[in-house]
Amino acid sequence: MPTESDTHYDPSLGNKFIFVTGGVMSGLGKGITAASTGRLLKNAGFDVTAVKIDPYLNVDAGTMNPYQHGEVYVLEDGGEVDLDLGNYERFLDIDMTSDHNITTGKTYQHVIEKERAGDYLGKTVQIIPHITDDIKRRIREAAKGTDVCIIEVGGTVGDIEGMPYLEALRQFAHEEPEENVLFTHVTLVPYSKNGEQKTKPTQHSVKEVRSIGLQPDVIVGRCEDRLDPETKEKIALFCDIPTEAVFSNPDVEDVYHVPLMVEDEGLDQYVLEHFGLADEALPEGERANDWREIVTTEKDGEIDIALVGKYDLEDAYMSIHESLKHAGFEIGVDVTVHWVAADELSEGHDGQLEGMDGVIVPGGFGMRGSEGKIRAVQYARENDVPFLGLCLGFQMAVVEYARNVLGFEGAHSAEMEEDTPHPVIDILPEQYEVEDMGGTMRLGEHTTVIEPETLAYDLYGDTSCSERHRHRYEVNPEYFDAFEDEPLVFSGTAGNRMEILELEEHPFFVGTQFHPEYTSRPGQPSPPFLGLVEAVIEESDDDDDTDPEATDTDAETEVTH
């Protein structure tokens, strides 16, 4: 909460709530709009948190295929949640909890458990008031201790599964003082064939919202370009809001530029005035400006990183993409990620890795693509290409080394091949009796002890680190002795559990059982990702120094391969 010396914020003003809904179509960027609004309010000196409402019946995102909802993002407390919470953590620079993700599965499960326990004796349990009351309770509890809570409602207005949530929001607005609640509606403003910005989709979407009993206070139009003044006026007229409450959210080169765009539009100032907080905020000249400085860093050169995975979908590996971007911000280079199909590599198509400056093998589950990932590890190891293996990537690095260096023919993970003669990766002992799939892995933040005088120690600058995990399998303790006195060393451990590996006399070869991508932030890049990008730059500089045809100018400016 802002201190008196910061903003003179009066706690008696109470929590402020911003509800963000979307219309016309999904995937418009409600989450980025919400996160950007929160970033600007944080810059103004307020404590901001966020809640993501997912109307699906799953209790959490843990059992979903990435093609359904993108990556499963893991929180510090072990919550497996929607990727939008990753955006909130990165934009707001906060650590969230499972309580900040509300799902229909969670809500109904809780209400039904209460009914079975007899808490509603004599009552008929219904959507209203029992489900809606539980939704409101969850929002208020997540908002405790902060000034502003931003609540994004997943899906689009009109979806049948979202109706209880919109009704809960209507009740919420009825219960709270008018100045404490603001409704933001994000809609699509497409172009006609003759280049005219069309407002009819927005009009119909707002009509749907109003039929439920909600009146948007702010409308954000997603369009290729900024909204024309006439477009804003037309939306304001037909949607019954002031023209100054209509904002543009045009396509930008990078999602991290969205806060800058909506700030230029004046969204933050309008929100502050609506809440009566304009006088409580830091003066504009004193507001934090580090975000703008970080995301607009001038880039000098470009590097190419191969991401060897199963899914040709950026959202499936969003946190990895963002972590590489954060490392690029720090060093001042553009990082281009090239997806390489692990399935194809299993057939020997190493040519897809030629010319890549670095290789990442990400986490995942199942047999498909595992042989390709092992081949990618081998390529990086044998060709001195900087390599980072994450979770399953870490495990496949162990398998590859066991097969091709230690000579353990047929070595594999027991997850992929139950009858392997050398299960160098085996199931965690505590998983033997586990039957349920949801929420039963080794999840959340755990501490790793790091050996001094190792690359891992250089990366983290400490003898320990705390990172987030999501796995059922580990390096088999029965094979620890086989790796003693090997160039491949385990430099990070958690008790009898191997957490970090590295390969001596290699430009950069690191694997982590944990997922460092989940804690990376703009301005605070993940150490393994920063180390990978730095190693690529160093290798590029070394190549330029040894190239007799390279000029001094080339060595200074050419990073691209």
Active site residues: 391, 515, 517
Ranges of H-type helices in 194-341: 200-211, 229-239, 258-265, 267-275, 290-295, 318-331
Give the up-direction half-sphere exposure of residue 280: CA atoms within 13 A in the CB hemisphere: 25
- Token pair listed for 57: 């019946």
Would the annotation count 394 as a binding residue? yes
Between CA 52 and CA 79, with CA 151 as vertex, the angle to 5 degrees is: 25
Would the annotation count 524 as a binding residue? no
d(C-alpha 73, C-alpha 388), whole Å: 19
d(C-alpha 530, C-alpha 288), whole Å: 24
Contact of 21 with 183, CB cutoff 8 Å: yes
Contact of 296 with 522, CB cutoff 8 Å: no
Would the annotation count 217 as a binding residue? no
Dihedral sign of CA atoms 276, 280, 285, 287 in order: negative
Q: What is the 8-class DSSP label of residue 484?
A: T
Would the annotation count 363 as a binding residue? no
Would the annotation count 32 as a binding residue? yes
Would the annotation count 234 as a binding residue? yes
d(C-alpha 278, C-alpha 146), whole Å: 17
Would the annotation count 38 as a binding residue? no
Would the annotation count 31 as a binding residue? yes
Would the annotation count 161 as a binding residue? yes
Contact of 87 with 325, CB cutoff 8 Å: no
Would the annotation count 352 as a binding residue? no
Would the annotation count 201 as a binding residue? yes
Residues 6+ apart with CB under 8 A from 273: none
Would the annotation count 136 as a binding residue? no
Of 100, 163, 160, 94, residue with least CA distance to 128: 163
Would the annotation count 67 as a binding residue? yes
Phi, psi of 3 (to 5 degrees): -80, 165
Would the annotation count 37 as a binding residue? no
- Token pair listed for 541: 């500089």
Would the annotation count 172 as a binding residue? no
Would the annotation count 16 as a binding residue? no
End-to-end alpha-carbon separation of the chain, Å?
Answer: 48
Would the annotation count 86 as a binding residue? no
Would the annotation count 28 as a binding residue? yes
Helix (H, G, I), strand (E, B) or coil at 232: helix
Cα distances (Å, whole numbers) of residue 525 to 325, 356, 458, 464, 560: 9, 22, 15, 17, 21
Would the annotation count 118 as a binding residue? no
Would the annotation count 30 as a binding residue? yes
Annotated binding residues for Mg(2+), written as ranges, equal 84, 152
Q: Would you list which residues are annotated within the binding site for ATP?
A: 27-32, 84, 252
Residue ranges of the binding site: 26-32, 67, 84, 152, 159-161, 198-203, 234, 252, 364, 392-395, 415, 472
> Annotated binding site for L-glutamine: which residue ranges?
67, 364, 392-395, 415, 472
Q: Which residues are annotated as a binding site for CTP?
A: 26, 159-161, 198-203, 234
Q: Binding site for UTP: which residues?
A: 26, 198-203, 234
